[in-house]
Amino acid sequence: MNQIDAAFVKAFLENWQQKNETIELDTIAAHPTTIALNGAEIPQTAQVNSRYGRFLYHLVKQFKPQKVLEIGMANGVSSAYIASAMATYQPESGNHTIIDPFQSTDWQGAGKHLLQRLHLDRYTQLIEHYSIHAVTQLEDAGKRFDFAFIDGNHCLDYTLADVIVADRVLNIGGLIALDDSMAYGVNIAIPYLDQHRPNLRRILLDPPAIHWLREKWFKRRRITIYQKIAEDTRGADTI
């Protein structure tokens, strides 16, 4: 993993909108339909758009996490951006764990099929189970991760539950990225995390004035990033 500092942020902001490495993925992300596992063409909904797919791609490529945890797969677009980024520095290994209990049912296997079409499935492991159970089982098995992308159930309680279990398997120095920051219950979870989770440091990618305008005034924050700086040691008598 690379260190998150001013130089990292500067380099990321200079690079993340470059499109030359993600042309095929950007086209897939923008397409109105996708292909189910049985070969049927189905509507494509709920996917990360190409702009923030590139955001994820360049963040992962620059940070270089060795092991990635992703909660929520849907049509597999974010999974493809992440796996493609990991393949640039880990061409022979598959350390991208994806959790989605509805992949074979609600999403008709479209995410699995996309990774297969792009020959990225060998880099990934899919667990079709609820995250609160699956991540706990990964923790019991001694698994640790350097990057967690959370894009599952966006209700407040589910979002906080996903952060809690992801934090428990995240190495110190690792990143948690929350998608859809201004939607549903995620926009309530983030102020709570900012105030009450001292072991998670918010990573600001904008100067303070622009950050305030983007988040408080225009309410345009798609992905929020935290870095784990310590283990959570709060007791029962703390907030």
Q: Is the pLDDT of residue 218 over 80?
A: no
Interval 27-70: pLDDT, tens: 999 999 999 999 999 999 888 999 999 999 999 999 999 999 99
Query: Is the separation of the CB atoms in 19 and 78 below 8 Å?
Result: no
**Interacting residues of 109 by C-beta distance below 8 A, sequence separation 6+:** 36, 37, 38, 103
**Confidence label for 1 from pLDDT (cuts 50, 70 and 90):** confident
Q: How many CB atoms lie within 10 A of CB 41?
A: 10
Q: What is the mean pLDDT of residues 119-137?
A: 96
b/e burial code for range 184-221 (CB count within 10 A of at least 16 → b): ebbbebbeebeeebebbeebebeeeeeeeeebeeeeeb
pLDDT of residue 217: 63
| 3-state SS assignment for residue 224 | strand
Query: Is the separation of the CB atoms in 10 and 71 below 8 Å?
Result: no
Of all residues in the chain, the percent with pLDDT exceeding 70 is 97
pLDDT of residue 46: 85
Q: 113, 136, 135: which is closest to 124 by C-alpha? A: 113
Q: Which residue has the higher pLDDT, 144 or 217?
A: 144
pLDDT of residue 207: 74
Q: Is the pLDDT of residue 162 over 90?
A: yes
pLDDT of residue 239: 65
**Residue 192 token pair:** 């709570």
State in words which class domain 6-228 has. alpha beta
